[in-house]
Amino acid sequence: MNDHKEKILKICNETSKNTLMETLDIEYIDVGEDFLLAKMPVTPKVHQPDGVLHGGATAALAESVGSAASYIFLDGNKYFVRGIEISANHVKSIKEGFVYARAILLHKGRTTQLWEIKITNEANQLISLCKLTTIALPRS
């Protein structure tokens, strides 16, 4: 994995161009044998009206990282991946700085996968805990 780490991160970041991931300034920053990590700045662009991180932006970050991880760990050349269910428990608010999303595979089935995505702040405090179910369908 270490030999391909920079290549994987480059591909993830390049495929984010002109997408929601670019709009939210999501950047993939680390990948390992069983995880993908991304960061997103918390600015007024992703705030709800009272000045804290919007839960929808958090869910978009979680789904983006979980789906990208599925693509990496399931051979995106053979399958296309779609998120089919996401849940998010927001436990702490944040007004500024960065949030980090780490996707870890909990279940790798032939068709469906279950991901845990922890969203933390710069002090590694839990902001949100998300669960994403993805489906991998064969490319025709």
Catalytic residues: 63
C-alpha 70/C-alpha 74 separation (Å) is: 6
Q: What HEC string does 41-78 produce?
A: EECHHHECCCCCECHHHHHHHHHHHHHHHHHHHCCCCC
Question: Which residue type does 96 have?
Answer: E
Q: Torsions phi, psi of 65, nearest 5?
A: -70, -45
